[in-house]
Amino acid sequence: MSLIDLLLGRPLKSDEDRNERIGVLAGVPMLGLDALSSAAYGPEAALTLLIPLGAAGLRYIGPISGLIIGLLFIVYFSYRQTIGAYPQGGGSYTVAKENLGTFAGLLAASALLLDYILTAAVGISAGIGALVSAFPKLQPYTLELCLATLALLTIVNLRGVREAGLAFMAPTYLFLASMLGVIGLGIVKAAMHGWHPTPIVEPPALPEAEATASLWLLMHAFASGCTAMTGVEAVSNGIRAFREPAVVHARRTLTVIIVALAILLAGIAALCHLYRVGATPPGQSGYQSVLSQLTAAVVGHGVAYYIAIGSVLSVLCLSANTAFADFPRLCRMIALDAYLPAGFANRGRRLVYSQGIIVLAILTAILLSAFGGVTDRLIPLFAVGAFLAFTMSQAGMVVHWRRKGGEGSQRSMAVNAVGAVGTGLTLVIVLVAKFTEGAWITVLVIPALLALFYGVHRHYRAIAREIETAEPLDTTGLEPPLVVVLIRGWSIITEKAMRLALTLSPDVFALHVTADDEAKVKKLRARWARIVEEPARAAGLPVPRLIVVSSPYRRISKPLLDALGELQRDQPGRPIAVVIPEIIVKHWYQNFLHNQTANLIKGHLYFSGLEQVSVVTVPWYLSR
């Protein structure tokens, strides 16, 4: 078993690809994990901005959460409709492209790509944030832990996550159960103590107020809190994963997710208020996540605490994992429309879209490194992409209903229009509030992505035009190629290549580049006459000529190109087929030992610009 097999799993054949259709129970973890886990960083992001208000800040977390929950339900009703209208899967890219045109589709796509990168980065950094809250000694290693987690996720995803459904189920429901448990218990305890409960573990004291509330500050907090809504579009993308009737199952799943998320957001806001828990300054020693403080306040630092924090850590890391499923899939769709390199549409050795995974991993690593692995610094970039995609999708749905017309379309259009306006307004608020803190980056990145898309498309179009022809096949002047077999000596590999060459053309040459002296060359010629020329002549076959080229420093490409150039001069216009035997190795690292010369020669041939030269690779499978 080779190292890469060990890391990435053995290569899968293409037919080992089966989809199991899921119901609501499996759908909630698989498509809802990203949305639900947002509860772990959304409220905290809002609270972080309220830190300067000191204890007074807690007054505002209720109204802000209420506003976000309201927006959440608007989005919910909009997406219910998208599910009905696009049962084949209505991602923002598809919906925007089909209804608003290619540019709108690509705009949504670039927003989503950014969103996925941030989902990966924020998921990992928030998960590690939970970890360092539980084990403060790890705080100085935040970035290292983030990058290690990223590396692990990348490897797992390059392996292909076939059992994703099951692996997601346990942590998601554990997370839901423990968070709902903490919220329920916390509220009951508070009610029993006349709404003035005593925390089991006292949360860090809230700082002195340094500022008073302003509309600007509250807008900021709201904009940050909106990150709690990221991920809710996943169900509308993944309808095809559901059992029939898929639309019904998808809608039920979305309902469960939205209701659960709303309860989590409301509950966290209530507990913060009741237990006087605020955010602590992120990225500094003494940092403790809000969920960690809440859990400790309600259940103390016992086993229950570690189970809850463990479930938070795992759903956050798994939510990063959803980006590893979505990003490559979206890249593939864009690549199929020729706006990204075609390679993104190809599946790798484990039936996953490896290129997309690798690109995502690299970009996430850059983002994590640039922002030190601190969630709070990533948040300003986050909501822009998500809300831009929401808005494009809802706007697309509005056009969809207008085009479709008929009964009920007016009402549906109104619902999606409310969604579009709600998410669009939020997008503006987020952009304005967060502009100087990092949202400006998205304003650069999205146009850059669009430029990339159109640049790639232009290139493909130009080439398509260049190679386009309406002429029928030209059948004149067809001549069999001059076949040149590169040989090192006489072996069964050479024999296989020679046997193929003899069937391709009456003009076969064997080319041998050597540093040996004349005596040895003479011996080779004699041997060649005996073991190749004589049998060929006897069988009435064309007799392959041996060409020996001397190269004192054992250089190969130059003498080879010279010899080919000479053949070309002798018979201009004749195609030339260079036959190169290639050894197929069992283990990847053996490639260092073989075919380097073959690859070099191919490179030189293509660099030479000899247009008539084709390369025939004859594989030889090593038996061991």
How far apart, in Å, are the Cα atoms of 429 and each of 51, 244, 380, 565?
20, 40, 12, 67
262 binds its own copies (CB under 8 A): no
Contact 486, 560 (CB under 8 A): yes
- The closest alpha carbon to 377, from 207, 230, 227, belongs to 227
Q: Which is nearer to its own copies, 436 or 469 (CB)?
A: 469
Segment interacting with its own copies (CB under 8 A) among 144-152, 247-255, 276-284, 458-466: 458-466
Q: Which of residues 180-239 bind its own copies (CB under 8 A)?
A: none
460 binds its own copies (CB under 8 A): yes
DSSP element (H, E) containing 533: none
* Structure token pair of residue 113: 């790509």
Total residues belonging to the chain: 624
12 binds its own copies (CB under 8 A): no
Residue from the set 232, 345, 367, 564 that interacts with its own copies by CB under 8 A:
345
Helix pair angle (102-134, 142-159), 10° resolution: 120
466 binds its own copies (CB under 8 A): yes
- What is the rounded CA–CA span in Å between residue 468 and residue 462? 10
Size, binding site for its own copies by CB under 8 A? 87
Q: Which is nearer to its own copies, 59 or 240 (CB)?
A: 240
1 binds its own copies (CB under 8 A): no
Which residues sit opposite 576 in a β-bridge?
A: 482, 613
x/- site string to its own copies, residues 276 to 295, per CB under 8 A? --------------------
478 binds its own copies (CB under 8 A): yes
- The closest alpha carbon to 382, from 434, 336, 342, belongs to 434
Q: Which is nearer to its own copies, 404 or 554 (CB)?
A: 554
Contact 555, 463 (CB under 8 A): no
532 binds its own copies (CB under 8 A): yes
Q: Which is nearer to its own copies, 436 or 475 (CB)?
A: 475
Name the minimum Å distance from CB 363 to its own copies: 15
Residue from the set 98, 437, 495, 516 that interacts with its own copies by CB under 8 A:
495
Residue from the set 147, 156, 180, 615 that interacts with its own copies by CB under 8 A:
615
Segment interacting with its own copies (CB under 8 A) among 44-52, 96-104, 434-442, 495-503: 495-503
Contact 476, 464 (CB under 8 A): no
525 binds its own copies (CB under 8 A): no
609 binds its own copies (CB under 8 A): yes
Contact 396, 367 (CB under 8 A): no
One-letter identity of residue 355: Q
- The closest alpha carbon to 251, from 81, 19, 30, belongs to 81
Name the minimum Å distance from CB 562 to its own copies: 9
Segment interacting with its own copies (CB under 8 A) among 42-50, 138-146, 187-195, 536-544: 536-544
Segment interacting with its own copies (CB under 8 A) among 192-200, 265-273, 369-377, 555-563: 555-563
Name the minimum Å distance from CB 573 to its own copies: 12
* Structure token pair of residue 388: 């831009």
Residue from the set 347, 377, 525, 545 that interacts with its own copies by CB under 8 A:
347
- What is the rounded CA–CA span in Å between residue 521 and residue 523? 5
Residue from the set 136, 281, 408, 480 that interacts with its own copies by CB under 8 A:
480
624 binds its own copies (CB under 8 A): yes
Q: What are phi and psi of 244, to 5 degrees?
A: -70, 145
C-alpha radius of gyration, the chain, whole number = 32
- What is the rounded CA–CA span in Å between residue 31 and residue 26? 9
Q: Which of residues 354-413 bind its own copies (CB under 8 A)?
A: none
474 binds its own copies (CB under 8 A): yes
Q: What is the DSSP string of 214-278?
A: -HHHHHHHHHHHGGGGTTTTHHHH-GGGBPSSHHHHHHHHHHHHHHHHHHHHHHHHHHHHHHT--
Q: Which of residues 575-604 bind its own copies (CB under 8 A)?
A: 575, 577, 583-584, 590, 592-594, 596-597, 600, 602
Q: Which is nearer to its own copies, 9 or 181 (CB)?
A: 9
- What is the rounded CA–CA span in Å between residue 266 and residue 478? 77
Cβ-count burial 159-181 (b if 16+ within 10 Å, e if not): bbbbebbebbbebbebbbebbeb
Residue from the set 2, 255, 409, 557 that interacts with its own copies by CB under 8 A:
557
Q: Which is nearer to its own copies, 450 or 504 (CB)?
A: 504
